[in-house]
Chains A and B, each alone.
Chain A
Amino acid sequence: MNVLIFLVPLALSLGLAGLAAFLWSLCSGQYDDMDGAALRILTDDDLRD
């Protein structure tokens, strides 16, 4: 059962990393305009022609 000593903290830290990523995306306003984000991907302003 010694493997738990590595695996449990590993699983928890992965979960925490996910949580931190979500909270970061929430605080940086990525959920303020869900519909707009879906449409913005369609424009290709970033391409140089």
Chain B
Amino acid sequence: MAEASDLSLFVSRGASGTAHMTLAVDGVGCASCIRKIEGGLKKLPGIIDARLNFTNRRLAVEWSEGELDAAAVIAAVERIGYKAQPFEPARAEADEARHARWLLKCLAVAGFAAMNIMLLSVSVWSGTDMTPATRDFFHWLSALIALPTAVYAGRPFFQSAWKAIRGGSLNMDVPISLGVTLALILSVVETALHAEHAYFDSAVMLLFFLLCGRYLDQAMRRKTRAVAANLAALKADFAHRLEDNGELVRLPVGALRPGDRLLVRPGDRIPADGSVISGTSEIDESLVTGETARRRVGAGTAVYAGAMNFSGALTLRVIAADGGTLIDEVERLLQKAIEQKSQTVRLADRVSRYYAPFVHATAALTAIGWLLAGASVHDALVTAITVLIITCPCALALAIPTVQVVASGALFRSGLILNAGDAIERLAEVDIVIFDKTGTLTWPEPRVEKAAAIAPDMLETAARLALSSHHPLAAVLAREARVQSPYADAIEEPGRGVRVVIAGSEARLGAGEFCDIAPTEAGREDGLSTIAFSHAGRQAVLEFRQKLRPDAAAVVSGLKQLGLDVRILSGDRAGAVGPVAAALGVESFAAAMRPDEKIKAIETLKVAGRQVLMVGDGINDAPALAAAHVSISPISAADITQAQADAVFLGDQLLPVLEALRAARAARRLMRENLLLAVIYNTVAVPVAIAGLVTPLIAAAAMSGSSTLVTLNALRANRRSLRRETRA
């Protein structure tokens, strides 16, 4: 059967017969990779341009249509030695890139203005022999720079504040916008009255500092999101669609439509929900239900996306969700869980809810107080506005985002990608951790057991032979091979095994009878799978079992040391969950939980006032992840599940979960410290402002001083808490 690839989903067509595609590339790590990939591709006839972005590991390729196609480009990159997957940038990502660029432009303009106005202000402050006319001239110049700058660079704050006010709430941007606007109006009026003080410098510097914080926050989030999107693209599955004329077309899963007929070979994941038309097989649904025992399927059986096809080829028809299936149930529960989830108010907004009215009331009282004390209306207003300027929550607005940026950067380096902006705050509040078993506490796929009991040379031969097989267990075995090149003339007999002649004698790997090994004395133990191997008169039976992640026990005891309650909720049988819970020292566990039961268990805990962290990977965990206060899933999780998780961890280890909690607590401590610093600053500055003693010089110094202090304190999130604990 001929196989074609249909990648048109990812290719965008240019004006003059050119085609463009973006690829996520895996394994790029050094300078020579850039040259190898770009140079290698440019040698191909038809390639117009190839450019690798080293920062986000993406390759943009442009070629003239007709001479090449998308599949040939990918094949070329793979020949050069890198795994590449076509990539369709999400709309959200493009929007964010545009937003980042906009912020950077605002930042540049504010920076330019702050520098120039400071230049003028410093001369005014230090120019004791300056004539009033020159001072006025400098003030007007400052106004000329500051007013357009505020209109341009202040938009991020003005827009956000306006949105909040229209929605009937207050956020940090309301006092910021008000402070900046009033400072500018006051300065213009004062300048027109030939007064001594103007606050253009404070207003613009404030914008500059705040834009720095905004931009860094956004850049960090954009970076982690790009990495997450690449990982998603690289693990994206392809489906084989049977056309009406019997041809087989390989196409991305995203392009599947209900009614399509698919061929799923042994060793492939089932790409979409469907019902089996023909063929029989055993499928492993551990990613769907958490159940580790395999299920036999035949014509008429419903199967779910994410299940692994083990033994035979299946033909299925893609079905749209029509109620009654597990996926529908999960979708329904998911919707309900999301609707019920109370929107947690972020710490910054919680603070600003009290802060903004307090500041505005203080300013109003200051004005009234001065009027009652007999000051002129002008003086009273000026003092009230300086109160607003000095309390403008510069340090407060930086206090939390800076910690978040630094902490999420540190977590990113230790293998945890944050999906939600406020995940750190919520992680810090957790007091109970619930784990799913299959794929979370255990590795997502079974591993070879007692590999040491088999002669090393036999294991190596078996593992190299496994490279030629499509069987899922063979893929696991193949990882043990030191030489990652398959035997040239290995033959796979579908459903039975692989064989090859090595040095005159035949080696066989596969089912017991295929290798002439009698059914093992161990019999068919629960959760145990075997592959037989024979070569040159020697025989071995390789056992595979779902294994715990090596650091699972250490992580569980680490969590307990943090004072957290640890529980297991699994969809697997009690016989499989019990031993795991015992091995990890988890007293409280529940087995054979359906998705709605998992939710119910979490809801019960929530009603009791507990803050739940749910860690899970299966499709059956998705609603539970959404219902929990905060959630984490491994990168091997099903797509629908990963989309619900607040954070995703990479790699074979469970450690990032523990690190996330530790870092989140350290970050919360720093956030509080920062808020305290900001409050101390304000308690000192406000009385000075109310007394009417704040000059522009004091305002500028206080503002930059407090911002710098808060930012420096946030940088400690990087060093202290994490470095020490990753080493431990």
Q: Which residues of A contact B (CB under 8 A)?
A: 1, 4, 8, 11-12, 15-16, 18-19, 22-23, 26, 31-36, 39-40, 42-43, 45
Contacts and interface: CB of A to CB of B under 8 A. Distances in A.
A11 B55 contact: no
A38 to B, nearest CB: 8
Contacts of B39: 45
Contact of A12 (B31, B105, B109, B116): B116
Main DSSP-derived SS at the B contact region: helix
B233 interface: no
B104 interface: yes
Contacts of B119: 11
Contacts of B35: 43, 45
Main DSSP-derived SS at the A contact region: helix
Interface in B105-120: 105, 108-109, 112, 115-116, 119
A11 B34 contact: no
Interface in B28-85: 30-32, 34-35, 39, 52-56
B350 interface: no
Interface in B430-462: none
Which 6 residue pairs are nearest across A and B when measured between Cβ atoms?
A: A36-B54, A39-B31, A19-B112, A33-B53, A42-B31, A35-B54
Contacts of A34: 55
B708 interface: no
B101 interface: yes
Nearest to A45: B35
Nearest to B130: A1
Contact of A15 (B52, B56, B115, B134): B115
Contacts of A26: 101, 104-105, 108
A41 B137 CA distance: 48
Contacts of B680: none
B615 to A, nearest CB: 32
Contacts of B134: 1, 4
Contact of A33 (B54, B112, B116): B54
A47 B416 CA distance: 42
Given A34-B55, A35-B55, A40-B34, 8 more contacts: A12-B141, A26-B101, A26-B105, A32-B53, A33-B55, A42-B31, A43-B31, A43-B35
Nearest to B30: A39
Contacts of B141: 8, 12
Contacts, number: 53
Interface in B87-139: 101, 104-105, 108-109, 112, 115-116, 119, 131, 134, 137
A35 B52 CA distance: 11
Contact of A16 (B104, B105, B112): B112
Nearest to B39: A45
Contact of B34 (A16, A32, A43): A43
A23 B108 contact: yes
B95 to A, nearest CB: 16
Given A32-B53, A36-B54, A36-B55, A22 B108 contact: yes
Given A33-B55, A39-B34, A40-B34, A15 B116 contact: yes
Interface string B7-35: 00000000000000000000000111011
Interface string B290-322: 000000000000000000000000000000000
Contacts of A39: 30-31, 34, 54
Contacts of B56: 33
B99 to A, nearest CB: 14
Given A26-B108, A31-B104, A45-B39, A36 B34 contact: yes
A39 B112 CA distance: 30
A15 B104 CA distance: 17
A15 B101 CA distance: 21
11 contacts: A1-B131, A4-B137, A8-B141, A12-B145, A19-B108, A22-B108, A32-B55, A36-B55, A40-B31, A43-B34, A43-B35
Given A36-B34, A43-B31, A43-B35, A18 B112 contact: yes
B109 A19 contact: yes
Nearest to A19: B112
A46 B137 CA distance: 53
Contacts of B101: 26
A45 B32 CA distance: 11
B53 A36 contact: yes
A40 B145 CA distance: 39
A5 B524 CA distance: 95
Nearest to B116: A15
A31 B112 CA distance: 18
Contacts of B108: 19, 22-23, 26
A26 B56 CA distance: 17
